[in-house]
Chain A
Amino acid sequence: MEGAAAAADREQLDRVIRGDSSALRAIYDRCSGRAFAIALKVLGTRPDAEEVLQETFLEIWKRAREYDPRRGGIEGWVVTIARSRSIDRLRARGAAAAHLSNVSAANPISDAAPPLEAAEQRQNRERIHAALQSLPAEQRTVLELAYFEGLSQREIAERTGDPLGTVKTRVRLGMEKMALMLGEREGLS
């Protein structure tokens, strides 16, 4: 993460720690679109996704002190929390939710036009999306099942019928390629 961006993130979170709700609002304006999109993709319904979004920002309000800039920018942190809370809710809902999630994955809600996405962000997202699509299908599948459905490697093996060792290898190879792309992205920026 770039030094200036990291410093700006840290400053914004320091304001949140001091109880400045306008700083939280600024983070919300910047990150809620992606966090909501992730929650919606995992959970499949807007009411659930909006509840998760609320929980996410309340958690950031309480846990701003725990932010670690070495693990990416604020947006990544917000998205990680939103995704974790969504997975928790999905697991609590059980099999019916998994079904719903499958339906939503088959009909990606993310096709909806994102009106507030800046051109640079859109290009970045499209590049990442393209990179993900360029992975061999079996590697992409395991990453999507893990990330968007919260399945463990063992559960993925049960779902796909592949040996556990094969699933582990696919996760590792797919993630290594994503990390490589991360390096390329940093090189470009």
Chain B
Amino acid sequence: MNCSAFKENVWAYALDALDPAERAECDRHLADGGPHEGCPAALNRAIEAAGLLGSSVAPIQPSPGVWGKIEARLDPPPSRAREPARQPRRSWFPWAVAMAAATACAIAIVIGMSYRSELRAKNAQLAQASAAAAERAQCLQELEAMRRNVDVQKQALALLELPSTKVVPLGPSAGSQTASRGSAIFNPEQQRAMVLVSALAPTVGKDYELWIIRGGDAINAGLLRPGPDGRSLVAVDPKLLQAGRPEKFAVTLEPAGGSEKPTTTPFLIGDVT
């Protein structure tokens, strides 16, 4: 933006009637060292002219109690900028110099302590605000997770109600001692499936993984993350079902994050007959 364009915009700038981008451009132009063709003067004049609009309104006295409320909220004003330290004159007596130095030290210590105290208070406020924000974010996250769970449950119920839906029971595979049980809710017409598994034991450093078995191949269908009640309900990606009808659903215990192919024998399995 050049000076001419700024002066075109200066009236709206003074009225605060520019869009944020236009205003930022004007701010940048003003901040630019120049040389300017009368931009600061034009701005002052525009601000004063905008003030006339306010002067067109007749004054109205506020309620008598307003000043009292303001007075009650007056903090001590910000401390004044300190003047640069002056060099002591040679003619001063040494004790006066020492006194001045001691006083300066004392003032510096008091100011330093006051500043540190203010800083600590600000840091504490900031920490409190951060903690509150973190708690709020955590709460939102949990509520969002609950909402997602409810949505998934609704989807499962809707899928279950369809007449062409089959329920495939998932039980312990041969030799497995697991107490877990599950069901795959599978609709071949719509090529949709959801798997519900219960009594999954908590794991450390491992994850439960769901597989679709088709043509002797195990296809990764995602992780099962049980809640505190040991249940997990997941929707199978429909794309995995479009390639062909699954023959089995199976669950294995895999290293954390899951595996591309099963590294352990399925402990739960169900045949889609």
Contact = CB atoms under 8 A, between A and B. Distances in A.
Nearest to B18: A152
Given A19-B77, A84-B16, A154-B19, A41 B57 contact: yes
29 contacts: A18-B80, A24-B74, A28-B67, A32-B61, A32-B67, A36-B61, A38-B57, A46-B62, A46-B63, A50-B66, A57-B70, A70-B44, A71-B44, A72-B48, A76-B55, A79-B51, A79-B55, A80-B47, A87-B16, A114-B59, A117-B59, A125-B55, A125-B58, A128-B55, A132-B52, A146-B15, A171-B17, A176-B11, A182-B45
A110 B74 CA distance: 29
B31 interface: no
Interface stretch (A4-12, A58-66, A93-101): A58-66
A80 B51 contact: yes
A33 B61 CA distance: 5
Interface in B62-79: 62-63, 66-67, 69-71, 73-78
Interface of A: 16-19, 21, 24-25, 28, 32-34, 36-38, 40-41, 46, 49-50, 53-54, 57-58, 61-62, 64-65, 70-72, 76, 79-80, 83-84, 87, 109-112, 114-117, 121-122, 124-125, 128-129, 131-132, 143-144, 146-148, 150-154, 156, 168, 171-172, 175-176, 178-179, 181-182
A8 B256 CA distance: 75
A112 B62 contact: no
B67 to A, nearest CB: 6
Contacts, number: 169
Contacts of A181: 52
Given A18-B80, A46-B63, A179 B17 contact: no
A28 B63 CA distance: 13
Interface of B: 8, 11-12, 14-19, 44-63, 66-67, 69-71, 73-78, 80
Contacts of B74: 21, 24, 58, 61
A151 B17 contact: yes
